[in-house]
Amino acid sequence: MGQKVNPSLFNKQILKPGKWSLISGKEYPLLFKNQYEIETHVRTLFECNKFLVKDCFFLSGSVQHKPTLFLSFFPLSSSKSFVSSNFNKNFLNKRLISFFSFLSIRNDFRFIFVNLRKVSRVSLKRNKNSINTFSLRFFRNDIFYESGVTLATLLFIQKDLSSVLASYVSFYFKLLLKTRKLARFLNFVSTLITLIVSSKGTSVKGIKIQIKGRLNGAPRTKIRVIEAGSLSTQSISCLSSYHFMPIHTSLGSFSLKTWVSYL
Of the listed ranges 40-49, 72-81, 155-164, the one predicted with least confidence: 72-81
For residues 132 and 192, the answer to whether their CB atoms sit within 8 Å is: no
Which residue has better confidence, 15 or 193? Answer: 193
Cα dihedral sign, 200-141-190-53: positive
Which residue has better confidence, 12 or 240? Answer: 240
What local confidence, expressed as pLDDT, does residue 14 receive? 44
Neighbours of 242 (CB within 10 A): 20
For strand 110-115 and strand 68-75, is the pairing parallel, antiparallel, or unpaired? parallel
Q: Return d(Cα 134, Cα 228) in angstroms, integer.
A: 18
Indicate the DSSP class of residue 106. Answer: -
Q: What is the pLDDT of residues 16-70, one digit of tens each?
A: 444 444 445 566 666 667 778 888 888 888 888 889 999 888 877 666 778 888 8
Closest CA to 98 of 45, 54, 31, 48: 45
What local confidence, expressed as pLDDT, does residue 79 receive? 46
- Check pLDDT > 90 for residue 145: yes
Q: What is the pLDDT of residues 108-141, one digit of tens each?
A: 778 888 889 888 777 766 666 677 888 899 999 9
Q: Return d(Cα 199, Cα 110) in angstroms, integer.
A: 40
Q: What is the pLDDT of residues 98-110, one digit of tens each?
A: 877 776 666 677 8
Average pLDDT over residues 87-94: 66
E-only strand ranges, 46-201: 51-59, 68-75, 110-115
| 120 Cβ neighbours under 8 A, 6+ residues apart | 150, 153, 154, 157, 158
Q: What are the chain's domains?
A: 25-116 (3.30.300), 127-262 (3.30.1140.32)
What local confidence, expressed as pLDDT, does residue 175 receive? 93
Q: Return d(Cα 236, Cα 13) in angstroms, integer.
A: 9
Q: Is 80 helix (H, G, I), strand (E, B) or coil?
A: coil
* This prediction's pTM: 0.81
Q: Return d(Cα 151, Cα 116) in angstroms, integer.
A: 9
